[in-house]
Amino acid sequence: MLRPRDEADLAEIIATTSCALEPVAGGSLRDIGKPVEGEILDLSALHGIVSYEPDELVLTARAATPLESIERALSEHRQRLAFEPVDWTPLLGSAGGRTIGGVLAANVSGSRRIVAGAARDHFLGFRAVSVRGERFKGGGRVVKNVTGYDLPKLLAGSWGTLAVLTEVTVRVNPAPEHERTLIVPAGGAAEAVQSMANALGSACDVSAAAFVPRRGVALRLEGFLPSVSARGAALLERLAPAESVWLEGEASRGFWRAVGAAQPLGAHPIIWRLSVPPGDAPDIIERLAPADYLLDWGGGRIWIGAAHAEAERVRGALRAGHALLFKAPRAVRASTAVFQPLSGPLAALTARVKAAFDPAARLNPGRMG
């Protein structure tokens, strides 16, 4: 087990070894992707908040800093990470902690993604070590930055296959004064998507829209109390539902923690996560007729619980977008395309980008296959 003390040590270790490496910060996301054969690179020593400036809406921390410490520090100043990094550990049944580096490397984003953006939209800058042992930086500590390529965007969602993050800078946002969630009935996916589109196309500033079958369509409002009240009234008027239930404050927060993490689907051995144009969701659900599912992002994110992977059938139901085999037993992941397969010039370009960073494919080899 390789366990660097700090960034300089990490660079030394990478430069003086030639084996395949599996960088691990907290470990909670290790079971996503194709299984990797490599020496574990334990990054847990690279932790700690380096600087936090609430007035500047910016925080810098070492990559293996536990997400909890960051969220705690932020809440003391009534701030938060707007992209809502959900906790998938119950769904995955994984051990291991959640870190800010892992959240960014896996682009972990919750229900608010539709209005606030994903983790990648809040990732301003970083320090990292390349597979050649080079220590480098990308981005900066400010939001308005077109100086050179936007490397943070490339590293976000790259699942540790391009470089090893050592320090990250993220944008932080004020936490709202108040939150409430409206739940209204919907007969099925088609009615749900229509209802969500109606809400999201309004000026009510809905910050999350999900459909939990047998529960209903859920729409969240956040902000200053008088504003949330007024917008809630406007939303009810616009939707004119047969019934409605409001969840306030902590009840609303708990609800979205569960939805974002697809908790109702936890019992299934196979979990698919689809990203599609929201309007396509009803057709996809009808074609696949899944045992269990949940819609988030107004229909743009579909979670499916199943007994068997059936990758070709699932991906065959998509007109556009992609499907990730989010959770499956190791043997299934080893023999199935976990990430949406690429083809043609895009596949070739992707391979060249990977080779530009990691020509010998040392980092998490094959993970994104």
Partner 1 sequence: MLARKAQIVDALRALAPGLAVIADQLELAVYETDALTAYRQKPLAVVLPANATQVARVLEYAHREGLNIVPRGAGTSLSGGAVPVGDAIVIGLARLNRILAIDYENRCVVAQCGVANLAITHAVADRGFYYAPDPSSQVACTIGGNVAENSGGVHCLKYGLTTNNVLGAELVLPDGEIVRLGGKHLDSEHYDLLGIVTGSEGLLGVVTEVTVRILQRPPTARALLIGFPSTEAAGACVAAVIAAGIIPAGMEMMDRPAIHAAEAFVHAGYPLEAEALLIVELDGPPVEVDVLTERVSELARVQGASSCRASRSETERLAFWAGRKAAFPAVGRLSPDYYCMDGTIPRRELPRVLRAIYAMGERYGLRVANVFHAGDGNLHPLILYDANRPGELARAEAFGADILKLCVDAGGVLTGEHGVGLEKRDLMTYQFTSVDLEIQHRLKHAFDPRARLNPGKVFPTLHRCAEEGREHVRSAAGRFADLPRF
Positions in 32-51 near partner 1 (CB under 8 A):
none
What minimum distance in Å lies between the beta carbon of 367 and partner 1?
Answer: 11
Given a contact cutoff of 8 angstroms between Cβ atoms, the answer to whether 281 and 209 are in contact is no
Among 81, 104, 186, 276, binds partner 1 (CB under 8 A): 276
Given a contact cutoff of 8 angstroms between Cβ atoms, the answer to whether 321 and 277 are in contact is yes
Tell whether residue 340 is a contact of partner 1 (CB under 8 A). Answer: yes
Tell whether residue 291 is a contact of partner 1 (CB under 8 A). Answer: no
Tell whether residue 287 is a contact of partner 1 (CB under 8 A). Answer: no
Task: Name the token pair of 274.
Answer: 């689809």
Nearer of residues 185 and 223 to partner 1, judged by Cβ: 223
Tell whether residue 349 is a contact of partner 1 (CB under 8 A). Answer: yes
Among 13, 156, 314, 328, binds partner 1 (CB under 8 A): 156
Among 53, 76, 248, 286, binds partner 1 (CB under 8 A): 53
What minimum distance in Å lies between the beta carbon of 44 and partner 1?
Answer: 26
3-state secondary structure of 338: coil
Residue numbers 208-237 binding partner 1 by CB under 8 A: 223-224, 226-227, 229-231, 234
What minimum distance in Å lies between the beta carbon of 234 and partner 1?
Answer: 7
Task: Name the token pair of 361.
Answer: 């494919």
The closest of 177, 170, 178, 180 to 73, measured between CA atoms, is 170
Among 148, 250, 307, 331, binds partner 1 (CB under 8 A): 148
Phi/psi for 273 (5° steps) reads -125, 115
What sign has the CA pseudo-torsion 157, 134, 6, 10? positive
Nearer of residues 21 and 204 to partner 1, judged by Cβ: 204
Round to whole Å and give the CA distance between 152 and 137.
Answer: 9
Nearer of residues 135 and 215 to partner 1, judged by Cβ: 135
Pairing relationship of beta strands 216-223 and 292-296 according to DSSP bridges? unpaired
Q: For the window 236-255, what string marks contact with partner 1 as x by the rule CB under 8 A? A: --------------------
Q: Extract the runs of DSSP E, i.e. beta strands, from the chain.
A: 21-24, 39-42, 49-53, 58-62, 79-80, 123-129, 135-139, 164-171, 173-174, 178-184, 206-212, 216-223, 245-248, 270-275, 292-296, 301-306, 322-327
Phi/psi for 167 (5° steps) reads -150, 140
Tell whether residue 279 is a contact of partner 1 (CB under 8 A). Answer: yes
What minimum distance in Å lies between the beta carbon of 354 and partner 1?
Answer: 8
Q: Binding residues for partner 1, how many (CB under 8 A)?
A: 87
